[in-house]
Structure 1
Amino acid sequence: MSAPPPTIALIGAPGTGAAALAHDLQQRLARGAARLVCTTTADDCTAAALTLLMGLDLPCPPAQQPDREAADARLRAALAQAGLRYQVVYGQGERRIENALNAINKIAIGAYPASARGSFESKNATRKPRLRDWNCEKCSDPQCEHRLFTSLVAQREAQQP
């Protein structure tokens, strides 16, 4: 008997597209690879193997932006208070989907190193993995830079005979 698929929680402030992203991911992930759950509370993330927090980069009417930022701050505080690790997903359209798939694969490989490599493969698995498409010179996140450097070294070592 096989283990049930891991649960991925998608959480975000109102208007950040969690439900739309869950729908798009369901179309991309292999059938039965994961159970996607959209939520608005950190409590619903405690049983999840992976938590994806929606970024605040989707368009929003200026009058609603303060409420959305406050909701995002409350979600981040609740996730931190519960001791839950999460990955923030940014981008619009196809880029958002790809960033979410990259986050799922990165987190899954770290959480399940022996068995997850094939579990979260997208239906577009024939494509060569690539680095993220944003400008690193504007990021200045040390953990991001470390992941980028480690990924580049691993790619170089994999290409050497």
Structure 2
Amino acid sequence: MTSPPSVILLGAPGTGVQALCAALERHPATTSVRLAWGHMLDATADPAAAADAAGTTVLLMGLDQPCPDSDRRAQEAADAELRSALARAGISYRVVYGQGAQRITSALNAIKSIATSAYPSSGSGHFEPDTDPSATRTARLRAWNCEKCSDPECEHRLFTALTGRDSQSG
């Protein structure tokens, strides 16, 4: 029997790491995920060993939360120290950005990416951010010339979007 995926949330003070952990604990898509959070790498139970285990990811909070100017320098220093500690330990991580539901969706996308690789039969669909009704997903089209892109997925999205518009207007 495989153990559930683990997610270690790290962030400088004031980045909302504890709030995101609490929100993920209440989210129905993460009921089978072990969550831990901290402001320093050693604040979680042996994160280096845990991050080496299959199905574990480290999420680092981005510096996009509102922060008083007087605290910004200390927050940036703490973030830089966290990134250095992760690099020294050889731990890969994903950075989570956004406000409110956006941040939860970003975290769920990161969790889904590790869950589907660790648990291919059950991870897909379980961690979809659209299980949260406030999260919406829109198709993004690239802003440059498609002739120079040569990305088949991008071309398919563009074609689908264009044919969708034509069928709706006719």
| TM-score normalised per structure 1 | 0.72
Structure 1 letter corresponding to 2:112: N
Other-structure match for 2:62: 55
Any idea what SS the aligned residue of 2:69 has? Answer: coil
Any idea what SS the aligned residue of 1:92 has? Answer: coil
Other-structure match for 1:18: 17
Shift of 1:136: 7.2
Distance 1:130 1:123, change over 3 A: closer
The farther-off stretch of 51-60 and 114-123 is: 114-123
Given the alignment, which residue of 73, 98, 109 partners 2:105?
A: 98
Shift of 1:21: 0.5
Given the alignment, which residue of 108, 117, 120 partners 1:110?
A: 117
Distance 1:120 1:153, change over 3 A: farther
Report if aligned partners of 2:10, 2:61 keep a CA contact under 8 Å in 1. Answer: yes
Give me the whole-angstrom Cα distance separating, in 1, the residues matched to 2:114 and 2:81.
23
Structure 1 residue ranges without an equivalent (≥5) = 138-148, 157-161
Give me the whole-angstrom Cα distance separating, in 2, the residues matched to 1:102 and 1:154.
22
**Does residue 74 of structure 2 align to residue 67 of structure 1?**
yes
The farther-off stretch of 71-80 and 110-119 is: 110-119
Give me the whole-angstrom Cα distance separating, in 2, the residues matched to 1:105 and 1:5.
13
Shift of 1:10: 0.4
Give me the whole-angstrom Cα distance separating, in 1, the residues matched to 2:109 and 2:89.
24
Give me the whole-angstrom Cα distance separating, in 2, the residues matched to 1:109 and 1:151.
20
| CA RMSD across the alignment | 3.4
Deviation per CA, 1:35-81: give whole Å up to 9, x if none. Answer: 11012222432214111000000000001000000000000000111
| % identical equivalent positions | 44
Structure 2 letter corresponding to 1:22: C
Structure 2 residue ranges without an equivalent (≥5) = 144-150, 159-170
Shift of 1:128: 10
The farther-off stretch of 60-69 and 38-47 is: 38-47
Report if aligned partners of 1:12, 1:40 keep a CA contact under 8 Å in 2. Answer: yes
Give me the whole-angstrom Cα distance separating, in 2, the residues matched to 1:61 and 1:19.
18
Other-structure match for 2:165: none
Aligned residues: 144
Give me the whole-angstrom Cα distance separating, in 2, the residues matched to 1:91 and 1:4.
29
Structure 1 letter corresponding to 2:84: A
Give me the whole-angstrom Cα distance separating, in 2, the residues matched to 1:20 and 1:76.
20
Shift of 1:23: 1.1
Shift of 1:118: 5.0
